[in-house]
Structure 1
Amino acid sequence: MTTLAPASSVTVENNSTFSALNDTASVSTINEGLTLEEINDAIAKTHIGGAVFVGILMIIGFVGNFHVLLIYTFKTKPSNHRIFILCLGVLDMVTCSIGMPFILVDLRYPLMFYAAAVCKILRFVNYFMCTSSALILLVIAADRYRMICVPLGKQMSQTVAKISCGIAMSIGFAISWPAPVLYGYSEEHTGIGNITGVRCWTEERFKKTKYQAYFNFLLMFIVFGTFAILCVLYALIGAKIFKHKTFKSTVSDSKSVPLSTTGSSKDSSGTKESSIASTENAEEKIEMDSSNTFNSSQKGSSYKLKFTSYDLPWKSTGKIFKIGAKKKEYSIASDNNSGQKEKKKLSKEDTRTRRITFIMFMITLVFFCSFMPHLSLKIVVFMKSNFLKTVSPAGLYLYNTFVWSFFVNNMANPIIYGFCDKIFVRELRSFYGKLPCFSK
């Protein structure tokens, strides 16, 4: 899958793996009479931890993403976040059904992988899925940023969301195309007699070039660049939500004041008094329609004020609603029942927006957290060339296990939906409740 270490660490890692075999109990009897199959099996044993780890992730990810695709395709309403979830679900499903099985075969036959064409295709698939997922996360963050931080601006439509996901995958394709060129038939000397194995790794003609290093550098640049942009976007989103939540709490605790167009003037004694106490006496009248737009008319002129719950928080005060708009305050007489319904509707939309944003943030967080162990181990191997030569057998097993940590993100999304998306949980329970074995 995605190995982000520079190419110069590849040979070191492989040679270290072979050197470490002499210290493992499973191959303590290595001698010149061993065959390639026996050496292959000995090396495969050091990958047991990784194979079990990837196998568990593959099964959980396949089952989970199957349910995600089923429920979000047939049981949810069209929306931007539905498009994003389905795109990520398809990429994760392909990884769990094609990419991970390939890794299991590679771990089982580290020195006997002769299918060069299969190697090229599957290396490309894994790189493409990973890169495309990262770029789609950028599209998701941009959509969430517009929804939360620029609610009055033009929002991303479903058509634009689909096109953006298509562009992200096209860029992922363009970035991943070197993989089938660089990877393929690679001879690997075991260091035991004259026995030479075959790996799915850098092709012979590119081993003495820097193309692999350039490719891995590009991948690292994309990973860290994407991470930086996402950090900035979600920091702005979090700040906006926190500010709105703080303001809303302040308004809730404050004393209710009837809505009125306010102003002040001095009478003959020099004291100040309110110029207008209600909309009936106001020169300016404002009416609210069902689309959250205020139609205002004053002395023959008219204009509209459009707001959302984020930019113009408001509070019911009996039959009056108070809102703030630039330098003036307007009073809007409203029926108490209709006002309460409108308030509940906006509150519900506000909660739903926050919930979706939280889900998308968790997906992004898990994506990058799953890469941290992989990147850390690769950086350690690159910085300390003899790391795998000096590590204990137990350390080698752990390395060969957690170096595949990035596969966690391919199975984690359904779990996130299960904890955070009430609609997904409800439809999942409804689906299994209709089955004979669960309905009894």
Structure 2
Amino acid sequence: MTRSPLLKMNYTSMANNSTEFPMCSTKITTGIYLDKTNDQVFKSIFLPSFIFTLFMFLIGGPGNALVFYIYFSKWRKTTARIFILALAGFDLMNCFFTMPMELTVLHNIITFDYSPVCKVFRYITFMMNHGSSVVLAAIAIDRYIRICYPLRPQLRPHHAKKVVILALVLSVAFAWPALLIYGSQTVPIPIPGKPHVCIIGKTCLYEDEYIHTMYPLIFSLSLLVGNVIIDLAMIILYSMIGYQVIKRGTSSNPTPLKYRKGSTSTLSTDDNCLGDKRTEDQERLDNLQSENHNEKHAYSAPEKNTHKLTKQSTASVRRDMFRQRSLSISSIEARKSQMYKTTLMLFMVTIVFMGSFVPYCVIVIIRALDKSYYARLSTAGKAVYNLFLRNYMLSSSLNPIIYCFLSIQFRQQCKDLFNRIKKKLL
């Protein structure tokens, strides 16, 4: 039985034909043989990765566009809003640029010979993911301060904007090596039974001149170390947040003294406000304060009514003070509950982001320790290997689903938007 040429392909350390296949005297670089081999390799190894990427694109593209529109046009200007908009912006770039380019490369896996396009494609991919990492780390810090130290100065919208700018600067600084080491890589494929004939393809990977250098390994390890450091920091922060939430939940006093002594404004109102609307409790509290203000002026009435008014006013003020206190505690508890829900939502976004990079990190470690690992894999093993390399797309596509499931307000805004569109169409 004739062995397929793809079984000899090694996508982890492809070298040019002069080193890997010195006996190739006849080289096929164009024509029907190259196209047929490309189709064979695509269907046998890269079709699952293509389907996965296409599915992520179809979910993530519209989903992140919806997130960006709703948070930009409906949410009031808050710290959480700015961070979520930044994440949606990075994810939109991944969905509308990285994923279509990935689909193109996969479908033309050994016929893609556009080095400048490859460099920009890989660079933007790394840059967007680095930016998301920094923003998620900032979100973890913001949640930690709001929940563990609510009376201390909090991150404000102008701080969040500076963090997003910093994320962009750091992502550019750490991703720039991709512009150098990535490009068109030569893929020599020997034809079984014809040792002197090779099909010479091109793909988007490390450029030929960098294959046998330490630069790809250094770049991969730097990415791995950076991700591990950020992930550990976020795990520690969210662990401390979880400990505080559990500790307060088991406390006999549902509203800790440090909250009751402070103003209700000390608790974050960052998480549950759409537009400029106030909550019902806030409006009721304002009305009561207005009533108290009016009743206090009753003490300046003529002396003949002073005794009667004093009794009525004192009783009324006591009732209103009790109601104000109840509403204040209720408002604090409501804000705490909403803050915890928002924290849970952002925590799930962080978990998905970290989890989506675990397979990639594992592959990078294996590839660094054993350069011939990929060559020894079966065809099915190569398919799984390449699928895991693209798991990082999960976070870009699943974030809108997380928002939809864990944010009632976001879900309601989506329903309202769809109803408006439906009415216009009908």
TM-score, normalized by length of structure 2?
Answer: 0.75
Q: AA paired with 1:13? A: T
Pairing partner for 2:224 from 220, 228, 251: 220
Contact 1:373–1:405 under 8 Å retained in 2: yes
Q: What is residue 278 of structure 1 aligned with on the other side?
A: none
Q: What is residue 373 of structure 1 aligned with on the other side?
A: 359
CA shift, 1:207, in A, is 2.4
What pairs up with 1:287-326 in 2 under 5 angstroms?
291-292=263-264
How far, CA to CA, are the matches of 1:383 and 1:76 in structure 2?
Answer: 48
Shift of the 437–380 alpha-carbon distance from structure 1 to 2, 3 Å rule, reads farther
Q: What is residue 153 of structure 2 aligned with on the other side?
A: 154
Contact 2:105–2:112 under 8 Å retained in 1: yes
Q: What is residue 187 of structure 1 aligned with on the other side?
A: 186
Report SS of the residue matched to 1:112: coil
Shift of the 167–399 alpha-carbon distance from structure 1 to 2, 3 Å rule, reads same
Q: What is residue 349 of structure 1 aligned with on the other side?
A: 335
Q: What is residue 49 of structure 2 aligned with on the other side?
A: 50
Report SS of the residue matched to 2:90: helix
How far, CA to CA, are the matches of 1:434 and 1:226 in structure 2?
Answer: 41
Pairing partner for 2:250 from 246, 262, 267: 246
How far, CA to CA, are the matches of 2:177 and 2:389 in structure 1?
Answer: 22
Higher mean C-alpha deviation, range 106-115 or range 54-63: 106-115
CA shift, 1:164, in A, is 0.9
CA shift, 1:240, in A, is 1.2
How far, CA to CA, are the matches of 2:355 and 2:392 in structure 1?
Answer: 8
Shift of the 308–129 alpha-carbon distance from structure 1 to 2, 3 Å rule, reads closer
Pairing partner for 1:364 from 347, 350, 358: 350
- State yes or no: 1:406 paired with 2:392: yes
CA shift, 1:205, in A, is 2.5
Q: AA paired with 2:379? A: P
Q: What is residue 36 of structure 1 aligned with on the other side?
A: 34
Contact 2:14–2:211 under 8 Å retained in 1: no
Q: What is residue 111 of structure 1 aligned with on the other side?
A: 110
Report SS of the residue matched to 2:12: helix
Q: What is residue 122 of structure 2 aligned with on the other side?
A: 123
Higher strand proportion:
1
Pairing partner for 1:396 from 382, 390, 394: 382
Q: What is residue 19 of structure 1 aligned with on the other side?
A: none
Higher helix proportion:
2
How far, CA to CA, are the matches of 1:65 and 1:378 in structure 2?
Answer: 29
How far, CA to CA, are the matches of 1:392 and 1:349 in structure 2?
Answer: 55
CA shift, 1:376, in A, is 2.7
How far, CA to CA, are the matches of 2:170 and 2:421 in structure 1?
Answer: 42
Q: AA paired with 1:417? A: Y
How far, CA to CA, are the matches of 2:113 and 2:107 in structure 1?
Answer: 13
Shift of the 91–252 alpha-carbon distance from structure 1 to 2, 3 Å rule, reads closer
CA shift, 1:14, in A, is 5.5
- State yes or no: 1:336 paired with 2:322: yes
Q: What is residue 24 of structure 2 aligned with on the other side?
A: none
CA shift, 1:374, in A, is 2.6
How far, CA to CA, are the matches of 1:386 and 1:289 in structure 2?
Answer: 65
Report SS of the residue matched to 1:435: helix
What pairs up with 1:41-120 in 2 under 5 angstroms?
41-45=39-43, 46-120=45-119
Residues 94-124 of structure 1: per-residue CA shift (max 9 Å, x gap):
1000001111111111211121111111111
Q: AA paired with 1:202? A: Y
Q: AA paired with 2:323? A: N
Identity %: 27
Shift of the 206–387 alpha-carbon distance from structure 1 to 2, 3 Å rule, reads closer
Q: What is residue 436 of structure 1 aligned with on the other side?
A: 422
How far, CA to CA, are the matches of 2:208 and 2:379 in structure 1?
Answer: 30
Report SS of the residue matched to 1:113: coil
Shift of the 292–187 alpha-carbon distance from structure 1 to 2, 3 Å rule, reads closer
Q: AA paired with 1:115? A: Y
Q: What is residue 203 of structure 1 aligned with on the other side?
A: 207
| Aligned-CA RMSD value | 2.8
Higher mean C-alpha deviation, range 99-108 or range 180-189: 180-189
Q: AA paired with 1:416? A: I
How far, CA to CA, are the matches of 1:41 and 1:164 in structure 2?
Answer: 45
Q: What is residue 4 of structure 2 aligned with on the other side?
A: none
Q: AA paired with 1:40? A: N
Shift of the 292–373 alpha-carbon distance from structure 1 to 2, 3 Å rule, reads closer
CA shift, 1:439, in A, is 9.3
Residues 53-109 of structure 1: per-residue CA shift (max 9 Å, x gap):
010001100010011011111111111110011000010011000001111111111
Q: What is residue 275 of structure 2 aligned with on the other side?
A: none
Q: What is residue 306 of structure 2 aligned with on the other side?
A: none
Contact 1:373–1:403 under 8 Å retained in 2: yes
How far, CA to CA, are the matches of 1:157 and 1:89 in structure 2?
Answer: 19
How far, CA to CA, are the matches of 2:366 and 2:213 in structure 1?
Answer: 23
Q: AA paired with 1:205? A: E
Contact 1:12–1:386 under 8 Å retained in 2: no
Shift of the 388–218 alpha-carbon distance from structure 1 to 2, 3 Å rule, reads closer
Shift of the 108–159 alpha-carbon distance from structure 1 to 2, 3 Å rule, reads same
Contact 1:432–1:438 under 8 Å retained in 2: no
Q: What is residue 177 of structure 2 aligned with on the other side?
A: 178
Residues 19-38 of structure 1: per-residue CA shift (max 9 Å, x gap):
xxxxxxxxxxxxxx972222
How far, CA to CA, are the matches of 1:124 and 1:252 in structure 2?
Answer: 50
Aligned length: 345
Contact 1:12–1:385 under 8 Å retained in 2: no
Flag the structure with more relative contact order, 1 or 2, with Cα contacts below 8 A and sequence separation at least 6.
Answer: 2
Residues 310-365 of structure 1: per-residue CA shift (max 9 Å, x gap):
xxxxxxxxxxxxxxxxxxxxxxx872211111111111111111111111111100
Residues 134-176 of structure 1: per-residue CA shift (max 9 Å, x gap):
1111111111111111111111111011101110111011000
Q: AA paired with 1:171? A: L
Report SS of the residue matched to 2:198: coil
Q: AA paired with 1:234? A: Y
